Structure 1
Amino acid sequence: MLEMRDVSFDYGSGVPVLEHINVQIEEGEFIGLGGRNGCGKTTVTRLLMGLEKPAAGDIMYNGKVINHEEAAVRSHFMGYVFQRPERQMFRPTVQAEVAYGPQQLGMSRADADDAVREALESTDLTSLADAYPPNLNRGEKQRVAIASAIAMHTQYIILDEPTSGQDSADKQMLMELLTALNQKGMTILLITHDMDILAQYCKRVLVIGNHTKAFDGTPEELFTQREDLYGLGLSRPEAVTLSLAVPGMKYCCSMKEFTAEILTKLGGKSV
């Protein structure tokens, strides 16, 4: 389990960015992290990764305080995909990039080769193994960064706005990949401003507001029970709004689900 216990943080100015954050992240969860710009979402993930250190409180992993463990140590169990993934790539080919982590872990040549092959296959990058990473499109770069984490057999992967700047096809491919990884047991934590992703893919949502945790629960609880969404920098997804407007209709987390429910109510076949 990964935990933030009464964590506070500021950037040295004395002005609080986060105050008294308490969060437990269990293995196998799929969590969306939301809130308005500047609320501290990225700071939360940087604290978890060890890129920043708490001003107060503890970051814990399986009951052990890891405040002073550097990001390189935490990368053994936690991967991070930056909003601009090209900033974390420096090797000449996709295969070499994905191989870097296993090599640093001291894997044997055979084990590293197996880990890289499996990671490329699971992210649909085998055909791009010899490609130069900076020449890839945004979605492909995201998958290279994810493959790098998979190859290191990480248990947690954190992604900062992974779908921004992508078209709908790339977005769907990425979210299907993350869903598949989660179903295999990997814990996913992603920062997003995309309300449809929070509603459709995340099993749990954390919202940061007023320097602390303002919400922790299911997407359905967030979008149907909170009246302060606008104040938190959020909005209700169109599918949720439409499903709540139709008497007797169940909560729908996507337009596909909403369309299927409408057709069923009209006596048609679901899609």
Structure 2
Amino acid sequence: MPEILLDIKNIIYTYGDYRALDKVDFAVAAGEFVAIAGRNGSGKTTLTRLAMSLIKPTGGHIYFQGENTATMTPADMSRSIGYVFQNPDRQIFQGTVEKEVAYGPEQLGFSPDTVKEAVRQALNMTGLTELAGNFPRTLSRGQKQKVAIASAIAMRPQVLILDEPTSGQDPWEAQSLMDLLTKLNTQGITIILVTHDMEIISQYTARAVVLEQGHKVFDGTPAELFNGNQPIKKWGLVPPAAVALRQELGSLARQDESNLSDLLGCLLKQRSEYNA
């Protein structure tokens, strides 16, 4: 059985009198590709910030590899968990892509040779090698997001948390980014993806956790989430196009079946009356 890396136990978090998370409980095992979904304000980003110790829970506990993170700092967590913000400009501040990617490993105390190799590998994995000398802020939104991911994986984390990484990107950039995350996952990095994009959940992730008004309301596979038995519209989620089409065709088929049954009943009644 895979090792439990991140174990979230009955987490409560309040902003003043507002309870943003209310007894949320779930665990993430090594090698998983998990989506955290929910409408705006459901508590998704708050949950990931808690996981990184950027903020501390009002109640409950978070464990990483069995160790309580209550006394851990964001710097402590960054040794094991990479965090990519929704807006990559929030975490890019070096003069070149190469320097940006090297910053994290340097802060963690990697040796110069280890930093150099970590940067080389991260740039190669993200397809940014040819852009190593570029000023990051001149890049496209998708390229900036890859710089942020390269910066995270250069620190060699076990887990990568990404907050709405495809927002503001065109479909080609979004697909390229998701293909990259899939590759990283197959190479052993656990992925936790915060997203409102149900197409991405259905195509790329193996598990979805849905939050609604601070509560966990679903935890299962995308197939279970979109099988028509879950109140996803109530949770503010829009089903993937293929799922919506399948459900609509199923509805039409049921209507046609009902109409056919009524027609057959009329014909049988007419035949009975004629034979009489």
Task: Provide TM-score, normalisation by structure 2.
Answer: 0.87
Q: Which aligned pairs between 1:109-148 and structure 2 lie closer than 5 A?
A: 109-148=112-151
Q: Find the residue that maps to 1:231 and give its secondary structure.
A: coil
Match of 1:168 among 168, 171, 186: 171
CA distance in structure 1 between the partners assigned to 2:155 and 2:40 by the alignment: 31
Match of 1:53 among 46, 56, 60: 56
TM-aligned CA deviation for residue 217 of structure 1: 0.3
In structure 2, the residue matched to 1:94 is: 97
CA contact (8 A) 2:43 2:213 kept: no
CA distance in structure 1 between the partners assigned to 2:194 and 2:174 by the alignment: 14
CA contact (8 A) 1:95 1:130 kept: yes
Query: In the TM superposition, what whole-angstrom CA distance separates every residue of 1:219-242 from its partner, at most 9, and x where no partner exists?
Result: 000011434111111121111233
Q: Find the residue that maps to 1:83 and give its secondary structure.
A: coil
1:172 aligned partner, one-letter code = Q
CA distance in structure 1 between the partners assigned to 2:244 and 2:42 by the alignment: 25
Query: In the TM superposition, what whole-angstrom CA distance separates every residue of 1:113-139 from its partner, at most 9, and x where no partner exists?
Result: 011000000000001101111111110
The alignment status of 1:10 with 2:14, answered yes or no, reads: yes
In structure 2, the residue matched to 1:43 is: 46
Match of 2:218 among 211, 215, 223: 215
Q: Find the residue that maps to 1:57 and give its secondary structure.
A: strand
Aligned residues between the structures: 246
CA contact (8 A) 1:138 1:165 kept: yes
The alignment status of 1:24 with 2:27, answered yes or no, reads: yes
The alignment status of 1:205 with 2:208, answered yes or no, reads: yes
Structure 1, unmatched stretches of 5+, are 248-271
Percent of residue pairs bearing the same amino acid type: 48
CA contact (8 A) 1:53 1:68 kept: no
CA distance in structure 2 between the partners assigned to 1:100 and 1:28 by the alignment: 26
TM-aligned CA deviation for residue 55 of structure 1: 0.2
Structure 2, unmatched stretches of 5+, are 251-276
TM-aligned CA deviation for residue 43 of structure 1: 0.3
2:133 aligned partner, one-letter code = D
Q: Find the residue that maps to 1:224 and give its secondary structure.
A: coil
TM-aligned CA deviation for residue 246 of structure 1: 5.6
In structure 2, the residue matched to 1:238 is: 241
In structure 1, the residue matched to 2:197 is: 194
CA distance in structure 2 between the partners assigned to 1:106 and 1:178 by the alignment: 26
CA contact (8 A) 1:123 1:143 kept: yes
Q: Find the residue that maps to 1:182 and give its secondary structure.
A: helix
CA distance in structure 2 between the partners assigned to 1:227 and 1:139 by the alignment: 33
CA contact (8 A) 1:94 1:132 kept: yes
In structure 2, the residue matched to 1:260 is: none
CA distance in structure 1 between the partners assigned to 2:155 and 2:230 by the alignment: 42
Question: Which has more radius of gyration?
Answer: 2
Query: In the TM superposition, what whole-angstrom CA distance separates every residue of 1:203-255 from its partner, at most 9, and x where no partner exists?
Result: 000000132111000000001143411111112111123345567xxxxxxxx
CA distance in structure 1 between the partners assigned to 2:201 and 2:229 by the alignment: 15
CA distance in structure 1 between the partners assigned to 2:90 and 2:169 by the alignment: 17
CA distance in structure 1 between the partners assigned to 2:234 and 2:71 by the alignment: 35
> Which stretch of the first structure deviates more once superposed, 236-245 or 111-120?
236-245
Rate the CA distance shift 1:141–1:188 in 2: closer, same or farther, 3 A.
same
Runs of 4+ in 1 over 2 A off after TM superposition: 241-247
